[in-house]
Amino acid sequence: MKFLTLEQGQLGALIEDEGQQQVVDLTAAAKLFELEPLPMTLAEIVGWTDEQVAALWGLAQVALDKGVSCRAYSEVKVIAPIPQPRRNILCLGKNYLDHAKEVAEKMQASSDAPEHPIIFTKATTSVIGPGDDIPAHAELTRKLDYEAELALIIGKEGRDIPEEQALDHVFGYTAINDVSARDLQKDHVQWFRAKSLDGFAPMGPVVVHRSVMPEPKDIQVSCHINGEQRQCANLDQLIFDLPTIIATLSKGMTLLPGDIIATGTPAGVGMGFRPSKYLKSGDEVVVSVSGVGSLTNRVV
């Protein structure tokens, strides 16, 4: 079950039909079939139960079978799944050991695995969707970098969530690019500004419901720049795995439906190369996550 957000903010379902990728406008289909409750946006359904989500998927199948409210994926404009998150994106820093090592020298930081999860946030206004341009912000940075990551979307509110129950609080998964201005990251010490400029959080193209997401050991996160593979790692290489991330973040702080958590980036960021391989205008950046697909953006 893959959900997405269409150009006007409507909820969509991405369905494979006879080898073709089709998108059902669920908002339009639900109106047509006079169904209640009317799903209007992806942000609204993240709190739905498995039964409600399954019923919604049934609606998508019916609409597809009847040929109503559906179009080829190639013909629709998809925006970020949650274009205006209710609060900042929660992010993990240095959560793959090889990445912690590759950035250590440049940032005069330790190359050891962090003892505790490193947590920072990205501003809600940094979110853009698939196909949108990443502004180079050349007046502010000469060290524009990419970071491919798996992100999870919280579905069920919770505080002090035990690790064993952590994944039950996830609605689904998507891909995110934690675009970073390395010079600002160094200058300002705190990472917030360097990672929050407008356009610094490309996200999507779909949210995969947790019930159909591959096992962590089968999830690969990769990044290609102009077709050259720069990053590629498996999710089981995370230093702090998904249950640990959710349990840690929720200790004494309530996680809310719609919260987005970016789980960290593997080795191979531009800053890690000798010499560095920072992004420049015209570069095509493709972040891929198994199960989710590819998120493509161009730097302008």
Ligand X SMILES: O=C(O)C/C=C\CC(=O)C(=O)O
Is residue 93 near ligand X by the rule CB under 6 A? yes
What are the φ/ψ torsions at residue 45 (nearest 5 degrees)?
A: -90, -5
Is residue 107 near ligand X by the rule CB under 6 A? yes
Binder of ligand X out of 147, 213, 238, 268 (CB under 6 A): 147
Is residue 180 near ligand X by the rule CB under 6 A? yes
* Cα separation, 71 vs 64, whole angstroms: 9
Nearer residue to ligand X within complex by CB, 106 or 298: 106
Binder of ligand X out of 27, 41, 69, 265 (CB under 6 A): 265
Report the site for ligand X in 197-236 (rule: CB under 6 A): none
Is residue 109 near ligand X by the rule CB under 6 A? yes
How would you class 234 by CB atoms within 10 Å of its CB: exposed for 0-12, middle for 13-18, buried for 19 or more? middle
Q: How far is the CB of 180 from ligand X (least distance, A)?
A: 5
Residue 91, beta-bridge partner list: 120, 262
Nearer residue to ligand X within complex by CB, 69 or 95: 95
Is residue 178 near ligand X by the rule CB under 6 A? yes
Q: How far is the CB of 265 from ligand X (least distance, A)?
A: 5
Q: How many CB atoms lie within 10 A of CB 144?
A: 26
Nearer residue to ligand X within complex by CB, 29 or 194: 194
The contact pattern for ligand X, residues 63-92, with x = CB under 6 A and - = no contact, is ------------------------------
Binding-site size, ligand X (CB under 6 A): 11
Is residue 283 near ligand X by the rule CB under 6 A? no
Residues that bind ligand X (CB under 6 A): 93-94, 99, 103, 107, 109, 147, 178, 180, 185, 265
